[in-house]
Amino acid sequence: MSLTVENARRLGAIAGLVFVVLAVVSLFVAGTPPPADELGKITTYLADSRSGILASDFLLGLGFAFFLLFASALRSHLGAGGPTDARPGAAVLAGAATAAALIMAGAAVLNGAVFEAGVERDPNLSYALYFIANDLYTMVGFALAVFFAGAAAGIAMSGALPSPLAPIAAALAALNAISGVALFVKSGFFAIGGAYGYIVPILSLLWILVASVLMLRGERSTPGGTRPATEHQGQGG
């Protein structure tokens, strides 16, 4: 049983690394989306970036499938890290599942907007699909806030990963929640296509990358530093 648990943790960590690679590629392959107040550029973007958007949607869907595997392994790892009755790992899995559902829904909507060439012929439909897709993407920030808040609590309570990851995860929870500002901001730093929409995802991916590497190595927090997780046995949460 112990070997099976360790293998599951390592496979989950590998899934996290795969997710990071796919997410980084998908983030840039579709180009920079125009802000909401530049309607004239939306149809041009959808037409000119059609191939990149289709590729990005596929990579997003595939990537978040791996993200769910990573989140499942992280939930188990956090639950096995300590003896308390609390189950912060449940928030990790709930946030991850909601984020994946929203991402896949947004990708499907955007994919439908560009699936047939000549999208610029119906600008009103293009605008509607573009805004719906981006609103779904924006809502992902709230789900990821739950994911990172759960991870922060789980690490702090269990010591299943090095302790510095906990406050960083808490900060990322706040930053992801703030990304919801894009729901009502039409231009600027926080809007669709703004810098905030790239900075926070990249920081979030860096956290997942570090967590995946540490899970793969089996390191956890201890008063004296870190030690392999294989030295600790506990029940999943």
> What are the pLDDT digits (tens) for 33-56?
998 888 888 988 998 999 999 999
| pLDDT, tens only, 156-213 | 998 899 999 999 999 999 999 999 999 999 888 999 888 999 999 999 999 999 999 9
Element (H, E) at 228: strand 225-228
Task: Match 């730093």 to its residue by tokens.
Answer: 189
Q: What is the rounded CA–CA span in Å between residue 91 and residue 188?
A: 32
Q: In whole angstroms, what is the distance from residue 95 CA to residue 144 CA?
A: 6
Question: Would you state the pLDDT for residue 187?
Answer: 84
pLDDT at 89: 80
Q: Domains of the chain: which residue ranges?
A: 2-220
Angle between the 39-48 and 89-114 helix axes, to the nearest 10 degrees?
Answer: 90
Dihedral angle, C-alpha 153, 156, 161, 163, nearest 10 °: 130
Whether 72 has a pLDDT exceeding 50, the answer reads yes
Is the predicted pLDDT of residue 83 greater than 60, yes or no? no
Residue 36 has a pLDDT of 82
Instruction: Determine whether 9 is exposed, middle or buried from the number of CB atoms within 10 Å of its CB (0-12, 13-18, 19+).
Output: buried
What pLDDT does 38 receive?
85
pLDDT of residue 119: 62
Res 236 pLDDT > 50: no
Band of pLDDT at residue 235, cut at 50, 70 and 90:
very low
Q: 3-class DSSP state for residue 221?
A: strand
CA atoms within 13 A on the CB side of 127: 9
